Amino acid sequence: MSFLEESRPIILAAGGTGGHIYPAISVARALIKRTRNIAIITDDRGKLFSQYDLNTDIHYIKASSPSGGLLQKLIGLGLLGAGFVQARSILKKIQAVAVIGFGGYPSVPTMCAAAQIGLPTIIHEQNAVMGRANRFLAPTVKKIAVSYDQVKGISPKAISKVIQTGNPVREEISEIRDKVYTALDPKGKLNVLVFGGSQGAQILSKVVPSAIAALPKNKRSRIIVTQQCHPSDIDVVKSLYKTANIQSDLRPYFNDMPDRLSGASLVISRAGASTISELIAAKRPAILVPYPHATDDHQTANAVAITSSSAGWCMSEDKFTIERLKLKIQQLMENPSLLNDAADNIKNLYKLNAAETLADILENTIHKRANSGAVT
């Protein structure tokens, strides 16, 4: 590969949610360690990128989902078209050498522009069901990296492009893997971590406190709860825990999530892609409550990837009741080997060095492109 090729930036394109952004950040860090130049293309929702010290340019383009009524679809398509023009201009101006997309509609204009220009393109799918944006892009890209060994929604024609890499997670999370999961002592404390997205899932705020409060007193006294709550729920949840004499720490957002996850004996959470990947990386057993309105019900598919390996437990939202959760927590406290076994099983799902693997794929794709004599 020539010096010119090596100096040209690799573009990372991602939607604006954590599930798309966190893997992109991990791969960005891996590429930076290799002294590769990078740049990021996202939309206005991708401000989360700026919170990380990547020391690189972030370009914002127009994008929207072409869903809803006819007017909303037309507006969405119009914004995607405008984003395509913006992305094409950016890619040519900065002389990008390759593009990797991490899903979400903001990645679509950039990936389409890259394919139109003739740049090497790779997409990464975080979920166990391929997202609509990646399904749209699959026919035009060179490689499709996936997190699971079984991913629904990939067309037979695209199977030959698929490489399983796992889902890159933040270094702060993967470092937890080196810490031994502490077996629950029959009389020890059960540290329960509850979270459900940046604002907390209200169903968790409604069910979890009441379920724990309903436990027998000798079980209740052994529980410590760390819970992410929507700001409007905190006072009510705090009152429930206080009345039941349960030690708790409640906040709308935890800036130190790696530390919280490291100290958890049991996690109760949604089943988004980044959540699942971080649970796997940290070897933490969990009770998963998939968000029922997720696109193509992908959170349930993510949860099944855990439960099918006996690495956790899934409760659909309609069955996530106070009584069922109380009984499950009581069962785990009375049989701590279930937690220990789940922690052992979940570690087998971990794909080592997913970010480095994706960086290798990018490097090889660029190298093949350079050796082919193609000019971009």
In order of their start, the domains of the chain are: 3-167+352-371 (3.40.50.2000), 173-349 (3.40.50.2000)
Distance CA 304, CA 288 (A): 10
Q: Which of 163-172, 206-215, 350-359, 366-375 has the lowest mean pLDDT?
A: 366-375
Nearest to 184 by CA among 335, 291, 17: 335
Residue 178 banded pLDDT, cuts 50, 70, 90: confident
Residue-level pLDDT at 323: 97
Angle of CA points 188, 194, 195, to nearest 5° = 155
Residue 163 banded pLDDT, cuts 50, 70, 90: very high
pLDDT at 375 over 50: no
**What's the mean per-residue pLDDT of the chain?**
90
How do residues 191-216 score in pLDDT, each as one tens digit? 999 998 655 688 999 999 999 999 99
The CA-based diameter of the chain, rounded to the nearest angstrom, is: 73
Residue-level pLDDT at 247: 95
Q: Concatenate the DSSP letters of all residues of 198-259 into one string.
A: TT--HHHHHHHHHHHHTS-HHHHTTEEEEEE--TTTHHHHHHHHHHTT-EEEEES--TTHHH
252, with CB counted inside 10 A (0-12, 13-18, 19+), is middle
Residue 370 banded pLDDT, cuts 50, 70, 90: low
Nearest to 305 by CA among 356, 271, 267: 271
Higher pLDDT, 278 or 375: 278
What's the average model confidence in pLDDT over 108-115?
96
Residue-level pLDDT at 197: 67
Distance CA 206, CA 322 (A): 9
Q: How many residues does the chain have?
A: 376
User: Strand 266-269 and strand 286-288: pairing?
Assistant: parallel
Angle of CA points 311, 315, 319, to nearest 5° = 160
How do residues 291-328 score in pLDDT, each as one tens digit? 998 888 999 999 998 999 999 999 999 999 999 999 99
For residues 105 and 135, the answer to whether their CB atoms sit within 8 Å is no
Residue-level pLDDT at 65: 80
Residue-level pLDDT at 89: 97
What's the average model confidence in pLDDT over 261-276?
93
Higher pLDDT, 329 or 373: 329
Bridge partners (DSSP) listed for residue 124: 145
Higher pLDDT, 19 or 158: 158
Nearest to 195 by CA among 289, 276, 269, 108: 269
Q: Which of 51-55, 95-99, 157-161, 337-341 has the lowest mean pLDDT?
A: 51-55
For residues 110 and 99, the answer to whether their CB atoms sit within 8 Å is yes
Residue-level pLDDT at 46: 82
User: Strand 162-164 and strand 143-146: pairing?
Assistant: parallel
Residue-level pLDDT at 200: 63
What's the average model confidence in pLDDT over 322-339?
96
Q: Is the dihedral of CA 207, 302, 174, 286 positive or negative?
A: positive
Distance CA 328, CA 293 (A): 24
How do residues 221-262 score in pLDDT, each as one tens digit? 999 999 999 889 999 999 999 999 999 999 998 888 889 999
Q: Where are the beta strands (DSSP E) in 256-325?
A: 266-269, 286-288, 313-314
Residue-level pLDDT at 199: 55
